Amino acid sequence: MLREDYSPQQIVGRLAFEGLRAMSHEAIYRWIWADKKAGGTLWRHLRGARKQRRKRYGRYDSRGRLGGKKMIGERPPEVEERKRFGDWEIDTVHGTGKPCVVTVVERRSGLVRIGKLRTAGGKETLERTTQILAGEFHPVRTITADNGTEFHIYKELEARLGTQVYFATPHHAWERATNENTNGLLRQYLHRGTCFRRITQAHCDRIAEILNNRPRRRLGYRTPNEVYYGIQDHARRWAASCGKLFAPVLGSGPSAEPGAENINVAVQS
C-alpha cells in the first residue's frame, strides 16, 4: 500500500474500512524511517511537506477580461453542497516551458481526469477537455474554472458537453478547493521545476488512475472510483503492474518495477 503511495493515515483508515486489523499510523511511520535507515526506499512514497508560493491577493487580474461569463455565485446550490454527481472543477498545472496538463476534478467523489497539453492555449485546452470528459458515467452538469485565458472558449465547451461553465472570483483559490487539493496530490508525480515535454497522455491516465484508487478520509476511506461508480465490492484494486506504459521513456519494458514510482522516474528523465 505504501508503494501505491497511500499515506500511513490512509492505510490505517482503509484497512479499518475493509474490516481488517491495522497498527497505528505512527507505527507505520516508525517502520518507514527504520527502512530508510537500512537503505530502503519506502520513504520516497511519502508526499511530504512542500513549500508553496504565497498567493498575492488583491492584485490586478492581468490575464485577460471576458465579458458575459457566469460567476461562481450563480451556480446552483447543489454544487456547493456536493449533493449530486457531475459538478467539476478545472485548472491547468504547469512545469517549466510550455507543456502542461489540464486537470478536471468531480466535486462529490474527488475523481480526477488529467489531459496533456502542448501549450495552455484556449483551443488545445478545449479539445483535450472535451476528449477526457466525453462519455462520462454521469452527465457533466457544471464546470467551475479560474480566470485563465485558456478557458475563454468556454461557450464552445458548454455546447460540446451540454454543460454550464462558471468562473471563480479572481485570486480566490479556496472557491475551487477540490481542484487545488488534487493539484497538490498531482505534484507528487509532476514535480515543480520539471519540464512536462516527455509526459504523454498515457502517463496522465496512469497518474489519474492511481489517484482515483487512493482512499480519501472525507469519503470515509473509500476511493473516488468507488464513490463515483457506486462500487460496492471494496476489494482493493491495485494499478496495473505492467511497465510497458513507461518503456518509451525508461527503456525497461515489462521488467520495470511496478507502481507509481515509475512515473516519477519518467518525469525526471
Fold type of domain 70-231: Nucleotidyltransferase; domain 5 (3.30.420)
The C-alpha cell that represents 189 in the structure block: 508525480
Domain boundaries, the chain: 8-45, 70-231, 238-269
- Torsion angle of the four alpha carbons 13, 17, 20, 24, in this order, in degrees rounded to the nearest 10: 20
At residue 248, the pLDDT reads 30
Contact in structure between 106 and 82 (CB atoms under 8 Å):
no
pTM: 0.67
Per-residue pLDDT of the chain (269 residues; tens, 9 = 90+): 888 888 888 888 888 888 888 788 788 888 888 888 888 888 888 776 333 334 444 444 444 455 678 888 888 888 988 989 999 999 899 988 889 999 999 999 999 999 999 988 899 999 999 999 999 999 999 999 888 888 888 999 999 999 999 998 777 766 777 878 888 888 888 888 888 999 999 999 999 999 999 999 899 999 999 999 998 876 655 444 333 333 233 222 233 333 445 555 545 54
Contact in structure between 25 and 9 (CB atoms under 8 Å):
yes
At residue 263, the pLDDT reads 53
Measure Cα distances from 143 to 123, 158, 202 in Å: 17, 9, 24
At residue 247, the pLDDT reads 27
At residue 169, the pLDDT reads 79
At residue 159, the pLDDT reads 93
Comparing CA positions, the residue from 223, 204, 205 lying closest to residue 213 is 223
Comparing CA positions, the residue from 89, 198, 174, 189 lying closest to residue 133 is 89
